Structure formats: structure tokens, C-alpha cells
Structure 1
Amino acid sequence: MTEALTTRAATMHAITQPRYGSSDVLRLSRVPRPLVGDGDVLVRVHAAGLDRGTEHLMTGKPYAVRLATGIRRPRNPVPGRDVAGIVVGTGRGVTRFAPGDHVYGVAPGSFAEYALAREDALAHKPRSVSFAQAAVVPISAGTAFQALTRAGCVRAGQSVLITGASGGVGSYAVQIASWLGADVTAVCGPTKVDHVVSLGAHRVIDRSRDDWTASGERYDLVLDIAGNPTVRSLRRVLAPRGTVVFVGGEGAGAITGMRRQLGGAVLSAFVRERLVLLMARESGTDYERLAELIDAGHLSPVLDRTYPLEDAVEAVRQLEQGTIRGKVAITT
């Protein structure tokens, strides 16, 4: 019988939020350790990644996220999703992992000493990187991988424009697109140009100086990750029958946060361009593939800095202020 099944009264340290809000609602607390159920994997968390998705779940905005997380307050008061750690317990039906395995993937409530994950949301950790480096990979790199290979269907030799190229998803998208043989143009802020060049971008557009929507350049694929360019401006930079993949964007409506993206997806049925709304999913299979790329030296985790669990509030505050390049990890 595993550790989690024999210590029902065990507790752990975790970051908690009793209500939706900014980083000010977060507290370091002591809470019951999760109990393993059928199909569950209990992970002793060594590091947890922090990204914009975690911030949206923390604030409960756009409001549509509350349909899944709780209308008035979070059902799971422990934030965090990206995880890397060691398996300490498994539930009935789990066959891919055993106690002692080093894993990474997605485990809701990962800002804690222990977290539960579904078996199909985990993969074996890349051998060549630390737990902190592995923890900043799954959601962001997985989203970039799916945007490029499934939604965007990118091929070698195609031209790709990536907005928000210095962020969590964008940093991986630049690397993966380059590895796939695409000609990559990246858009970012003035202080992050060198960082994006180091990731493998062939050209970088400083958004504070140049308007990429009016440059006259045309691209086979645009990954729309950051900002809120209009659908018209996105179509203007596409090559004939090119593709836009809507990955993210801030401030696009308080209800769904996807007003512009949904409008583009509807318009796609009536125009020659493809306007695709990406609905990224957690995939242990994709994380295994990403681990192979990391161990082969084709993909590098984009870890800006680490914070101990007790300083997680400061890490979230830095994310809110936009001072982070790539991602940060919370270590336990």
C-alpha cells in the first residue's frame, strides 16, 4: 500500500487562495495531503511552473473559467498546474508509473508539497534537465507543439510569425518552429529581443518600434499568442490560403476572453484563409515527445528564475507586472 493511502491525517504546506483575486489573495497554508483515488498518481512536488493560465485561474477571469473552477470561489483552493517531481503513490488502474519514477506534466494544485495527477497527463521527466527546468515545460511547450503541428500543420520551409515570442508559449514556439524547419519571425518587446534571438528566431520585430501588421510581409502561418490584433490585420499579413492559429490574447472580453478568436473561427468558413482556434489539451504523449526533444538537445526549457514555495506570492506578482522572460518555477 502506498504512502498516501496509509497516512490519512497527513498534512502538507501549500499556497492557497480562499477567493478569486490578484496575488494578494494567496497565502502559505498547511492543508491535508491529497488522497489517491482510482487512476490517480500522487507526486511529491519538486517544482511547479507558473504561467498566464495559472493567473487566469487565480483571478477567475475571464468569467467563463469559473464554470469549470467554481462560480463564487475556487473548488480547488491550491493553484498551480505544471509539475515535476517523484511518484510516491498510485491508484488502482495506473500502469505507466510506479513509486520512485521521476515525472513531469500537469497536476492541478501543484503549488504544494504533494499533488495529484491523472496518469494520461504525466510523462517521464527529461533526464538531461533539473526538476525546476522540467516544470516549466508541459503546458506552455505542449500548447506550442499542438499549435504548430496539429492546428497549424507547419512544414519545413514555410514562413511563420509568432507574436508574444518572449512569453511562456512563445518561447517554445520559436524553438519548435525552428526545429521543424520553418523560417521564423518573432514579435516581442524591446528588452527581450536578444532573448528571442537566442531561441532561434531568424528575424525579430520590436513591437514598440515597428508595426508588424503593416509591414507588407506575408506569412504561411501566424501564431497569435499575445496582444489583440484585429482579425482583419491578421489576415492582411497572411500568404494566400495561409493560417492563423489563435493561441492566446489578453483583454478580449470579460466573459469568455475569446470574443475576437471566436469571431475569427466563424469567419474562417467564409474566407480562403484558415482561422483556427486552438483548444490545447493535456497530453502525456506530447510530454513524452517533448522530453525526447529536450534530451536530444533540440528544445531547451525556458526558465527565467526560481522561487521557493514560501515566496510564491512574489513570483505571481512578478508575472502580473510582466517582468518575467519565459517562465518561472516554484520549488519545494
Structure 2
Amino acid sequence: MNTMRAVVADRYGPPDELDVRDVPVPHLTDGHVRIRVRAVALNPADWHGVVGRPYIARPGIGWRTPRRAIPGTDIAGTVDAVGGGVTGLAVDDEVFGFADGGGCAEFVTVPEANLVTKPSTVSFAAAAATGVAAFTALQAVRDVARLKAEQHVLVNGATGGVGHFAIQFARAAGCEVTAVCSAGNVIAATAMGADHVIDYSTSDFTSGPIRYDAILDNPGSHPLRACRRVLEPGGSYVLIGGSKASLLGPIPRLIAAKLLGVVSSQRFDLVFAKETAADLDVLRTMLEDGSVDPVVSRTMTLEEVPGALAEIGRGHTLGKLVAHP
């Protein structure tokens, strides 16, 4: 076994220019585990890494060409081999966790610390889906908005990758949840646990009479001053996604939010999600006890990944898209 199939980005460009071809199997080093990938969940971060936007991200993703030639961070699979110093995992263990790219392939090497065993009751697809989107939602609810029981939180962009986890984590915290989504996803938002659903095509949540203790904003689709009008004094506005603008991305909106925060008692923040071993354990426990239920709207082959990434770039995906190499 010297080669494997992988999705490869040799240069920045539209996702449909991605190549699916044979590449060398990654070399195994000390402290790492080689995984036979059974599922890899796709994220907006993968789209950014392929197209190279916003440009302000280039120091992290590569100046002229993608630093991660093979996209894909959120993986689940079986242990194929272990490197020196690995003590907690063995060949054939079923695991999930986060890689530094490389997941859209048949094999990937991952530090042992970035993996946990997959609950036997959870599918590979669901485990892979509980990746960066779940980390982001968990940290937005728990660490940034610091939501408490009986607070009323609005999730804008509620049925996407991060949004559908945010609904579940807010409900687990004892909050009342209002979801904002398209008409076609109203039923899905209710099934995810939302107490109330607003169809953004017919209603503008910023013009209504209700005030919220927190707004978790995925698309950043409304002016900040309009969001401020429906935020309780002392409430929290948390920007999760935001603009895909070529140059600065969400930075201008974040600066504007911070300036608004200076002149009011309301807090305005941006989530910088961190994939940590501690939170991976939290997510594993929630998967196992059923308190979080990832929505996988579609599965696909590696050959279908370019089209799926283009879809993610356009927005409006339901839950998570997962590939099975």
C-alpha cells in the first residue's frame, strides 16, 4: 500500500478545479496514528482553504498555494497503524477527532491527542460531523455568550453546520431558543429543538418586538445596529460566521461590533473556535448519551467533494455534508 485516493488542491481556485487522484500514503511519525478514513465532514473552512479567501487568512492557509493540499479536518475511521509512543490506541480501534487537513483521503495521520474512541452506537458519519462546527457552537454558547437556563437566545442561520449544534447546546443549557432559517428548513429547525422558528423570507427578526438575551449570528446578514435593537441590555451578540469578502472577511464587522460594545452595556464578540482534547471528550460524552444529535443531510464519494464544497461556498446547506472515501 503505497498510494491512496485523495482530493487535492494544487493551487487556489474554484472547488470544481480540485483534482481527485492517487497520492502517496502519509508517512507515520512518533506520537501519531494513521487512520483509515471512513467519514470526513466538510466545513466552510475547507472552502476557504481551497479558494484562498478572505486574503487576510493567507498567512495561516498559505500565501500562494494552499498549505493543506488535501482538505478535510473532521474525520472518523479505524486505526490502521500507530507510531512510536502511542499508548492509548491500537490497530482496528474506531476513533474520531480532528486532523491538520488531509481528511479528504483514504488515509490520514493524526496526533494521538486529537482522537477519541467512537461510541459504538454512533455512526462514522455522525462522529465525523461532530467536529469543528460542534466545537464552534459549544464554545459560542458556553464560553462567549455564557448562556444560562431560562435565557432567550436567537440563532440566526440555525440549520447550518454550526447553527444546528448551537440550537442543541442552547437547549441543553436550559435556554428558550428562536431559530432563524429558510422556509424549507422550518420543520428541521423544530426537530433540532427550537422553541420558535422565524422564516427569514417573510419576517425580519430585527424589526420584531421581542428582545433576546443573546444572538448567535452565523451569516451576519443584518446591520449590527438593527441587531442591537432587539438585544437585551447586558445581552450578548456573538458573530460566528460572517462575510466571505475577498480581502478582510468578517474583520470589519467585528471592529464595528467592538466599537458598539464600547458605548453600551451589551457585549459583542467573535468566536475563534479551538479544537481541544478536553472539548473533544465533552462532545464524545454528549454523542454517547444522546444529548447532541448531528444532522448529516447528505453523504458522498470523494469524487463528489468538489461539488459539495462549491455548495458550501454558496451557503444554505442543511446540517453537515459528509464524504466516505
RMSD between superposed Cα atoms in Å? 1.8
Secondary structure of the structure 1 residue equivalent to 2:203: coil
TM-score by length of 2: 0.94
Cα distance change on mapping 1:330 and 1:247 into 2, 3 Å: same
| 1:210 aligned partner | 203
Take 2:146 and 2:113, find their aligned partners in 1: how far apart are those partners?
A: 24
Letter matched to residue 274 of structure 1:
R
Take 1:266 and 1:39, find their aligned partners in 2: how far apart are those partners?
A: 44
Cα distance change on mapping 1:321 and 1:224 into 2, 3 Å: closer
| 1:42 aligned partner | 34
TM-score by length of 1: 0.92
Question: Does residue 101 of the first structure (1) align with residue 103 of the second (2)?
Answer: no
Letter matched to residue 220 of structure 1:
D
| 1:63 aligned partner | 55
Secondary structure of the structure 2 residue equivalent to 1:68: helix
| 2:176 aligned partner | 183
Take 2:30 and 2:223, find their aligned partners in 1: how far apart are those partners?
A: 46
Secondary structure of the structure 2 residue equivalent to 1:72: coil
Offset at 1:245?
Answer: 1.3
Pick aligned residue for 2:230 from 217, 233, 237: 237
Deviation per residue, 1:149-198 (Å, 9 max, x gap) = 11111111110000000100001111111121100001011111111111
Pick aligned residue for 1:219 from 212, 217, 222: 212
What pairs up with 1:9-88 in 2 under 5 angstroms?
A: 10-88=2-80
Take 1:256 and 1:219, find their aligned partners in 2: how far apart are those partners?
A: 26
Offset at 1:310?
Answer: 2.5
Take 2:264 and 2:322, find their aligned partners in 1: how far apart are those partners?
A: 42
Deviation per residue, 1:260-284 (Å, 9 max, x gap) = 0233135434421111221101122
Offset at 1:254?
Answer: 2.3
| 1:132 aligned partner | 125
Secondary structure of the structure 1 residue equivalent to 2:261: helix
Offset at 1:90?
Answer: 3.1
Cα distance change on mapping 1:119 and 1:234 into 2, 3 Å: farther
Take 1:230 and 1:79, find their aligned partners in 2: how far apart are those partners?
A: 33
What pairs up with 1:271-286 in 2 under 5 angstroms?
A: 271-286=264-279
- Retained in 2: the 8 A contact 1:253–1:259? no
- Retained in 1: the 8 A contact 2:241–2:250? no
Letter matched to residue 18 of structure 2:
L
- Retained in 2: the 8 A contact 1:252–1:258? no
| 1:116 aligned partner | 109
Take 2:291 and 2:250, find their aligned partners in 1: how far apart are those partners?
A: 33
- Retained in 2: the 8 A contact 1:163–1:224? yes
Percent of matched pairs sharing the same residue: 38
Take 1:207 and 1:144, find their aligned partners in 2: how far apart are those partners?
A: 21
Take 2:304 and 2:133, find their aligned partners in 1: how far apart are those partners?
A: 22
What pairs up with 1:160-175 in 2 under 5 angstroms?
A: 160-175=153-168
